[in-house]
Chain A
Amino acid sequence: MNGIRARVSALIVLGLLMTLIAGCGSSGGSKSAPSPVVERGVGSAGSSEAESDGQSYGVDDEREVDVYSLDDPNSPLAVRVIYFDYDSSDIRADFSDTVAAHARYLEANPGLSVTLEGHADERGSREYNLALGERRALAVRKRLVLLGAAAGQIRTVSYGEERPVAEGHDDSSYGQNRRVELVY
């Protein structure tokens, strides 16, 4: 319980940080520079834009949603769990966008770091599953770095099959347990 509360308050702090970053605006030319930022959770988009230096002309949607707030439930960053196929550490196509959004977020916020927690389902060898969880975390890390995050921002840890989110012994539970969690 304590852990969750701590995580929630960390998110609030992050949210505030985002507001600050947004408020400062950015004159950097990087593609994923956080301007303009659409803040949906903390602070209003209007005030953020008002404080940035008046780039209030037309911006296409894709550019507009380049960087998100971590605590925005509608943001791709709200997806913090990447699921995997059986005995695989390949990032599935349906999670490419999620990983890419996190990569841009980390690149835009070099002061932030993330822990990638790799997990496996309970079937088969416990030690092999620990290695498999590690490989899944490493696969996400590799993709994040490829897309702009700095290696130093990312820590990986594998729990193998030791921390299932679903305790059932069926395919549905197994699917939920084969995952990498991004913990900011």
Chain B
Amino acid sequence: MTPEYLSRFGGILIFILGGIAFVLLVVGIARMIRPNRPDENKLSPYECGEDPVGNVWTNFNVRFYLVALLFLLFEVELVLLFPWAVLFSDAESLATFGTSWIWISITEITLFLGMLIAGLAYAWRKGYLAWVKPDPKPETIEPVVPGALYEEINRQYERKK
């Protein structure tokens, strides 16, 4: 008495199982037929032929996190928009709801999108999405050698000519 929807998801299940089985099969065959002679160089992590230097665990720039968080919010928004899109593309369900529902839902969606776009615009306008640009400042160097000495030398060589 398996319900119909489950048998439709059975295809996905077969895909998942097939994927796992395929990976295991390929790796298993490789393991069976390959020679197994590990040495120190083969086991070391590859880093462009160099010996690895330093730690793999580095501190990310916080900006990545901010961008990921904004992405997450928009993703959740998209998840909430999807049911509406499914209903809206279906003429049958549109007919049952009537014209007033269409306009109400469009207004709702516009408001909903507008809220998040306002947030994005805020973050953008304030420059939190912008990457840190290098900001070279012209350095003023106090010369140790006074200018008069250069003048002196110039005069000396002029005389020799």
A binds B: no
